[in-house]
Amino acid sequence: MNVLIVDDQISVINGILSGVRFSELGIDIVRSATSSEEALAVFSEIPVDIMLADIEMPGENGLELNKKIQQKYPDTLRILLTSHAEFSYAQESIKLGCFDYLLQPAPYEEIEECLRRALQHIYEQRKKNRLYQYGQLLETNVTELMDHVVTELFSRIPEDANSSLEFLNKMGSDQQR
């Protein structure tokens, strides 16, 4: 998993880098950027699974960055990490589909818990996507698969016939010998 931290204050980035136990969370790469422009450059270099971004930054702010990331990289989970407790910011983050909104100074344990939940969400989403792809593959090749199963069902080799019966039972068929 890859994480990108975006904040115009180097001290905030350094604090998160030193205080959050990324490797214990299973996060392989942690990159940082001090502006939206730098963040977009990171996205062009590596896939980013989770982005932690400040809102108030010179130039393009974190909300504008989130809009771009949402459009160009919809699979990236986005977490806003800001010292601004303004309700309008939280509202906008919800509209943008951000995963979470943390107020600074957030304890490192709170950031870690948020990252744990984000990682769990990513793992579950990837599992659903894989299952969907398997379902599509099965649906596309069901005729060939069933031809193979039926051929083995009538095989003279008992193991092949038993294997076919087990497969049919797993697939919900009520076939009996």
Ranges of the chain whose pLDDT falls below 70? 172-177
3-state secondary structure string across the chain: CEEEEECCCHHHHHHHHHHCCHHHHCCCEEEEECCHHHHHHHHHHCCCCEEEECCCCCCCCHHHHHHHHHHHCCCCEEEEEECCCCHHHHHHHHHCCCCEEEECCCCHHHHHHHHHHHHHHHHHHHHHHHHHHHHHHHHHCHHHHHHHHHHHHCCCCHHHHHHHHHHHHHCCCCCCC
Q: According to the model, what pLDDT value does residue 129 have?
A: 85
Q: Name the phi and psi angles at 52, rounded to 5.
A: -100, 120
Question: Check: CATH 2.30.40.10 for 2-126?
Answer: no
Q: According to the model, what pLDDT value does residue 173 have?
A: 53
Q: What CA–CA distance (Å, rounded) separates 13 from 3? A: 12
What count of other Cβ atoms lies within 10 Å of the Cβ of residue 108?
14
Q: According to the model, what pLDDT value does residue 101 have?
A: 87
Q: 83 with 9: CB under 8 angstroms? A: no
Q: According to the model, what pLDDT value does residue 177 have?
A: 45
Tell me how far CA of residue 112 lies from CA of 25, 52, 92, in angstroms. Answer: 8, 12, 23
pTM: 0.74
